[in-house]
Amino acid sequence: MASGAYRNGVHKGASAASNFKSSSFKSKHPPVAAPGSGLRRSSSASLGAASGSLKDDRGVPGRVRVAVRLRPRNAEELVADADFADCVELQPELKRLKLRKNNWDSDTYEFDEVLTEFASQKRVYEVVAKPVVESVLDGYNGTVMAYGQTGTGKTFTLGRLGEEDTSARGIMVRSMEDILADLSPETDSVSVSYLQLYMETIQDLLDPANDNIPIVEDPRTGDVSLPGATVVEVRDQQSFVELLRLGETHRIAANTKLNTESSRSHALLMVNVKRSVMGREAALSSEDDNSSHLVKPFKPLVRKGKLVVVDLAGSERIQKSGSEGHTLEEAKSINLSLSALGKCINALAENSAHVPVRDSKLTRLLRDSFGGTARTSLIVTIGPSPRHRGETASTILFGQRAMKVENMLKIKEEFDYKSLSRKLDIQLDKLIAENERQQKAFEEEVERITLEAQKRVSEVERNYADALEKERLKCQMEYMESVKQLEEKLVTNKKKCCNGEGPGVSGAEELAEVKKLLQNEIHLRKAAEEEVDYLKNRLGQFTQPEAGGNSEILKLRKSLEDEAHKKKKLEEEITILQSQLLQLTFEADRMRRCLERGGSGNAFTGLDSLMSQVGHLHLKDAGNGQRASIATLSEQVGLQKVLSLLESEDANVRIHAVKVVANLAAEEANQEKIVEAGGLSSLLMLLRRFEDETVRRVAAGAIANLAMNGKYSWVYQSLKGLGFLSFYSGIQSCVQYIYHFCVVTSFSDLAEANQELIMVEGGIGLLSMTAAEAEDPQTLRMVAGAIANLCGNDKLQMKLRSEGGIKALLGTVRCGHPDVLSQVARGIANFAKCESRASSQGTKTGGSFLIEDGALQWIVQNANNEASPIRRHIELALCHLAQHEVNAKDMISGGALWELVRISRDCSREDIRNLAHRTLTSSPTFRSELRRLRIEC
Ligand code: ADP
Ligand code: MG
């Protein structure tokens, strides 16, 4: 029997557990045990399970695991059952339980785990609940349920808070500890609801007012939910324990109010775990082949595992507890859910076609736990008392049946569309921002490159243009040079042609010509030789009488020398006589005046002596000492008196007096006194009145001395119209005077008038003569400078030219001194300017006098002179000349065109450059010549 019973038990147990021989409750899970193989597994492992479940809708098999726990005898049992053995005998190592039928017979049952009265709460949790909790964390639903008679330790096993003794903590507390430890607060969440089911009514243990919560089933998935039930998010263990305590308080209160015992109601703790995991790309691409590349980096999945911990009402039959005073209907209602659960488990265990899930709220709520997709662990609690043997047996059988229930575990995993969308939004924003940034950078880069390119292009263009222009100018200059040379050759050839040496004469003719010339030469030579012979003969004839002639010549020379000596002596005597005569004249004068005034002649004693001394002096030899003595004497005699002698009737007196005054005038210290005393008037008077050459010469010298001082510009004025220069010719000081007049005093507003005066007085003739004779560069400079100034006077153009001024000016260049050349260039520029002005005003017609007088050659030669003053004047002169069409042809033939072209290009002074350019382009003759020569201007 026993064996039969055992067989029965074994049969029942073995049939359920035949596939799972392992001693470990945990390891007896089917292959899907992978999710339960450890709390902290790599995400890839869980991922694999996840993707597998996604691909396989059927899930993986997972039988309901059942453990049995024996409560130790309580105080009452220790007393009451003291004489009796326990109704069960446990063989935990064999996972077997023997239920005594009587003293000699028992039934043996095999469970997934057999937990003795000594099993710790920790061990119970680890073998019963921990694998379920791990599955929940992996995204499966899980159920831990306690079934058993009231007082056998269901609540002890599941619900103890263990606040005072942590080792007493039950499955609920320990589950939450493990869950919280495994979640990441940033991405995961856990929330709980705590409910009580009593008489088919669901009450909210977290909110007692919420006492009739409906069950809503999703018709598509079959998932049940309890809308309206309080859901509290759990952040930490402490708050969860508080929630449990609150729920327990409310449970007691509710049962009191309903006049029930907690043992008659079912308590359900629902823990929802939501975890975010990153899915594999493969999983995503297989789901949606059209998924864009954007999706690839993000494969957010959310796993929603639900753990249900069910503390069932006591499983004892209601009849037994009739003391509670319920009616039969009530009792049926109270137990409806539990019996419906039994029925369902029976149906599932027997693989019935119909499972009456909908018969009760409990079975509806637990439909996923039995025959569903959840991993389910059932702990059946039993007491040791033989008095409750029947209830214990019933509990054991319940457990045995439950072990036959096979679930199909399915991971509760879905795409986290919200998270995906949120992440995609962020990603999109980032990409847009990045794109905008790149676009902006790209545009800036394009702009920068464009600018750079433009800059480079313009630089290259500029360089190219510059190089081109340089090359063009160089070519033109070369071209000009060669054209110039060709032109010159042409002119030379033309000249040769004119002389009959042109290229038209053939070689033979030329030879004949040469021969003819040679013949002529030979004839001429012969004639010359004959002439020489003849002359030689004649010379021989003359040689004989020459000896006598020589002595006669010597005689004549000697007598000539004697004559010269005599002449000198006579001259000296004349001088002495003249001085005596002067003295006598003075005396006669004195006598006359004395007679006229009736005074004595003694006052003239000093003057007589002065005159007698002056009479012995040669003015031009007068040294400083002599001059000083003259000055002293004149002081003694009185300047006024000396000056009065200038008007003497006696020519000799006048001569001596003028010599004295001239000597005094040579000293600057005396000049003012002489002028103040009216000496100038007296000197001028001499010039006007007397014909005597010596008097005039000496007087003119004195005036020149007086005039040399710049202070006396009025002196020049007063010389106007005096014919001063005409009788002062050939004297160096005259040139100085004119130069001074023309150049030094040119600042004066009288300059122009003075220039005219010079001209009137025949200054040009003087200057020309000096220019022709002088060798000293300074003299020539003065001559050229004076003429140059006169050249700048519009009124004097004609006269200056007609009197040979231009030629005289050009004549001075022979000395080659740069100072002289500079004056010449200035004079030419001045003249050209005046001419140009006159031509423009219509007062002059015809070509330039400068060209007519042959200045062009010198101008062209010096147009590029190294000395800049010379070059500038000539450049200006060329421009002035070129402004008048009438000069154009002469300028072209004289080679001035080349210089004008050069000036228009190379002159460092922009105004002159522009003037040359304007001049060239405005002249038709120049233009056509340039066209002919193919020269661009
Ligand atoms: P149930 O919930 O099944 O009605 P309880 O959990 O309330 O039973 O337990 C009834 C009593 O038995 C409690 O006082 C409890 O402390 C005690 N008890 C239950 N199981 C054990 C156990 N394994 N060890 C010690 N005491 C237990
Ligand atoms: Mg209880």
How does residue 39 score in pLDDT terms, banded at 50, 70 and 90? very low
Q: Which of 79-83, 387-391, 411-415, 427-431 has the lowest mean pLDDT?
A: 411-415
**Cα-to-centroid distance, 71 and ligand 1 (Å):** 7
Ligand 1 atom nearest 263 alpha carbon: 4
What is the average pLDDT across 334-349? 91
Mean pLDDT in residue range 789-800? 85
Percent of the chain with pLDDT over 90: 37
pLDDT at 236: 95
Phi-psi region of 29 (alpha: psi -120 to 50; beta: other; left: phi over 0): beta
Listing DSSP states for 445-486 in one string gives HHHHHHHHHHHHHHHHHHHHHHHHHHHHHHHHHHHHHHHHHH
Q: What is the pLDDT of residues 292-302, one digit of tens each?
A: 444 455 567 88
Task: List the residue whose alpha carbon is closest to atom 8 of ligand 1.
Answer: 151
Taking 50 as the threshold, does the pLDDT of residue 48 lie above it? no
Q: From CA 131, how far away is CA 140, in angstroms rounded?
A: 11
Residues 6+ apart with CB under 8 A from 172: 158, 159, 244, 269, 309
Query: Which pLDDT value is given to residue 119?
Result: 97
Residues with CB under 6 A from ligand 1: 71-72, 74, 148, 150-156, 263, 314, 381
pLDDT band at 556 (very low <50, low <70, confident <90, very high): confident
Report how far ligand 1's centroid is from the alpha carbon of 124 (Å). Answer: 14
- How confident is residue 311, by pLDDT bands cut at 50, 70 and 90? very high
User: What is the reported pTM?
Assistant: 0.47
pLDDT of 567-616, one tens digit each?
888 877 777 776 667 666 666 666 666 566 544 434 344 444 455 544 44
How confident is the model at residue 687, as a pLDDT? 65
Q: Picking from 151-160, 283-292, 681-690, which range would have the lowest pLDDT averaged per residue?
A: 283-292
In tens, the pLDDT along 253-298 reads: 777 666 666 678 899 999 999 998 876 544 444 444 444 444 455 5
Q: Quote the pLDDT of residue 722.
A: 45
615 labeled binding residue:
no
pLDDT digits (tens, 9 = 90+) for 51-63: 333 334 667 899 9
**Annotated binding residue 154:** yes
Q: Whose CA is nearest to atom 20 of ligand 1?
A: 153
Q: Which residue(s) pair with 269 in the sheet?
A: 194, 309
The whole-number average pLDDT for the span 819-832 is 92
Tell me: pLDDT of 12 over 50: no
Ligand nearest to the CA of 121: 1
Over residues 67-91, the pLDDT tens digits come to: 999 999 999 999 988 888 889 999 9
Least confident of 392-401, 406-415, 778-787: 778-787
Is 155 known as a binding-site position? yes
pLDDT in tens, 196-242: 998 899 999 999 999 899 999 988 877 889 999 999 999 999 999 99
At residue 105's C-alpha, the angle toward residues 101 and 109, to 5°, is 70
| Atom of ligand 1 at shortest range from CA of 159 | 6
- 463 or 19, higher pLDDT: 463
pLDDT at 138: 93
Residue 618 pLDDT grade (very low, low, confident, very high; cuts 50, 70, 90):
very low
Mean pLDDT of 132-161: 95
Residues 181-217 as b/e (b if ≥16 CB within 10 A, e otherwise) read: ebbeeeebbbebbbbbbbbeebbbbbbbebeebeeee
Q: What is the mean pLDDT of residues 918-936?
A: 87
| pLDDT computed for residue 260 by the predictor | 65
Tell whether 816 is in a known binding site: no
- Residue 14 pLDDT exceeds 50: no
pLDDT of amino acid 680: 73
Q: What is the distance between the alpha carbons of residues 39 and 135, in angstroms, rounded to a whole number?
A: 9
Whether residue 930 is predicted with pLDDT greater than 60 in this model: the reply is: yes
What does the pLDDT read at residue 526? 82
Question: Residue 266: what pLDDT?
Answer: 93
Burial of 74 (0-12, 13-18, 19+ CB in 10 A): middle
The proportion of the chain whose per-residue pLDDT surpasses 70, expressed as a percent, equals 73
Q: By alpha-carbon position, which residue is closest to atom 19 of ligand 1?
A: 153
- pLDDT of 288: 46
Q: Helix (H, G, I), strand (E, B), or coil: what is residue 183?
A: coil
Question: Contact at 8 Å (CB) between 660 and 686?
Answer: no
Q: How far is the CA of 94 from the centre of ligand 1 (A)?
A: 25
Per-residue model confidence (pLDDT) at position 453: 94
pLDDT for position 545: 54
- Per-residue model confidence as pLDDT tens digits over 754-785: 567 667 767 777 778 777 877 878 778 877 88
Distance, CA 234 to ligand 2 centroid (Å)? Answer: 24
Mean of the per-residue pLDDT values for the chain?
78
- Residue nearest (by alpha carbon) to ligand 1 atom 5: 153
CB-CB neighbours of 530 under 10 Å: 10
In contact, 399 and 111? CB cutoff 8 Å: yes
Reported as a pLDDT band with limits 50, 70 and 90, residue 793 is confident
Please state the φ and ψ torsions of residue 804, each to the nearest 5 degrees: 85, 20
Is 883 flagged in the annotation as binding?
A: no
Distance CA 126, CA 402 (A): 20
Instruction: Pick 377 or 278 by higher pLDDT.
Output: 377
- Give pLDDT, residue 636: 56
Tell whether the model's pLDDT for residue 177 goes beyond 90. Answer: yes
> Which pLDDT score, from 0 to 100, does residue 518 have?
82
For atom 16 of ligand 1, which residue has the closest CA?
156
- For residue 11, pLDDT beyond 70: no
User: Contact, 202 vs 212, CB < 8 A?
Assistant: yes
Residue nearest to atom 23 of ligand 1 (CA): 71
